[in-house]
Amino acid sequence: MHAKNQQYFEALELAEGLLSKCLSHVKVGCSENGRLNAAKLDNAQQVTSDLASSVAELACAKAFLEYSESKGDLEHELAQTFSAEMILNVRARITRCPVDFGCEIADLKGFDVVAGWDKLCAANLQKLGQIIVEGNGAIGDRGLDEEKQLMVETFHQFSEDVVKRWAEDIHRKDLIIPDEILDGVRELGCFGLSIPQKYGGLLADGSEDSLGMIVVTEELTRGSLGGAGSLITRPEIMARALLDGGTEEQKNVWLPKIAEGKPLCAIAITEPDFGSDVASLKMKASPVENGWLLNGAKAWSTFAGKSEVLLTLARTDPDMKAGHKGLSLFIVEKPEFDGEEFVVEQAGGGKLSGSSIPTLGYRGMHSFNLFFDDFFVPQDNLIGEGQGLGKGFYFTMRGFMGGRIQTAARACGLMSASLDSALAYAKDRKVFGQPVASYQLTLIKFAKMAMYIGASRQFTYKVGRLMDEGGGQMEASLVKLLACKLAEWVSREAMQIHGGMGYAEETTASRLWIDSRVLSIFEGTEETLALKVVGRALLDRAA
């Protein structure tokens, strides 16, 4: 352990110990006959959410400190300052109402003797902000090997040369992603990042490369979230489903096509009345000769118009009591449409219709409401065929975990773009005779932006490495929960630094702020992650 970081690691350990005590208290209060009780948990939502956020913040701080151990002074300063702020965040939540957490004020006294709070004083933050300004936003070495660093450079250049030229028009004119971007992403092999080489992808057989997907997603998002940053998520989810549950014939047919980016893929999971509550999905798949008829509605199917394949989750067991065990996964084929509405009519009378949902931001892919009316899907397109019945929920889970870590990567890319835009404006724009970048409050904003980006990035990278080793499920939810919140703050402050121009539609900062709002909503809403995923898992593990 580096001597500079020792006191911060000790403070984190102290805070983690207190959170363990809090979790045990909540678990006891929410249990009945030795098991967690759903009704009692619903009456402890605030404290559960607070604990989930606190665990995420401490895990992120620890990852940032660990990364900084072998780095220079800037990385140490950013990691230590971030850690001090996160520990104080935890302290503030518990201090607000200690009884909710099963604590007393005396339990918090240990925080008062931990050195390092001076990192958060205005003078120190101002000094750190000045370093960020003078370095034009540089926040230190990313800690990547040569191969991953080359990926960063390649996709950063593609974002600069191609994606950014389209970004404003895609947003302001609500355009579908242009072929120049799609063809460029295809040529760079993006759609094959999670597909083994034996099926035509780039992934070495028998290995994983979540970290590669993370750095690619981060750099594409830096150009545009809707225009490029989400392109590889849906193919990755479909590829994972096929790799986990598909027959060998299905893998050989579909995976090479997905790797090539032809056809493009969309996901049809969410329903109008059911978002994250997958077990309650109602869309029916009824068996008929040589296949299935799909009936029902899906919502928020991103890129469903342009895509020629919809990975669709439907209920093959009509008994709702079967819950998620009654769901199966289908590959639904359709023609490509560039417009905002489409209708597919089958010779046998089946129909699939879609209409795009107007959104504040995240434009380029268009999200659709879909309606299936006796739409026929051949037996060969049931993933796993007979062995896949009732297993659709499980086949999608690995892909969802990948979607969460990719969303954290998107948050990192969006934050980096926000910092870039704010720095460029603040250095050029003068107010009361001085550049906006010279004022203390602006410098403090830049210091916090830098440490939020650095911390989120390193936590995301750490989770990617854990996933490549076969773990990281909980951590993927933690980093998604935290990074998306931080992205909203960073993009908001970048917009604020622009003053009145930040509110103008023509500025990059306004687009980034609007796009940031979707990050805490898709791939698991903030509330669902905090309560049903992270919070529930933490309470299950508590002593």
Q: Which amino acid is at 370?
A: L
Amino acid at position 156, single letter: H
> Under a CB-based contact definition with an 8 Å cutoff, are residues 482 and 453 in contact?
no
CA distance 27 to 24: 5
| Three-class DSSP category at 502 | helix
Per DSSP bridges, beta strands 351-356 and 284-288 are unpaired
Contact criterion met (CB below 8 Å) for 334 and 381: no
Q: Is 523 a catalytic residue?
A: yes
CA–CA gap between residue 368 and residue 357 (Å, rounded): 6
Q: Which of 57, 475, 493, 523 is catalytic?
A: 523
Amino acid 147 reads E
Q: Report the alpha-carbon distance of residue 188 to residue 267 in Å, rounded.
A: 23
Query: Measured between alpha carbons, how far is 268 from 352 in angstroms, rounded to an integer?
Result: 12
Residues 6 or more apart whose CB falls under 8 angstroms from that of 304 comprise 266, 268, 310, 354, 366, 367, 368, 370
Task: Report residue 194 CA to chain centroid gap.
Answer: 17
Say if CB 412 and CB 453 are below 8 A apart.
Answer: yes
Contact 61, 82 (CB under 8 A): yes
**Which residue carries 């037996």 as its tokens?**
379
CB atoms within 10 A of CB 438: 15
Q: What angle do CA 242, 247, 253 make, to 5 degrees?
A: 70
- For residue 203, what is the DSSP state? B
Backbone angles phi, psi at 398, to 5 degrees: -65, -40
Enumerate the active-site residues: 523
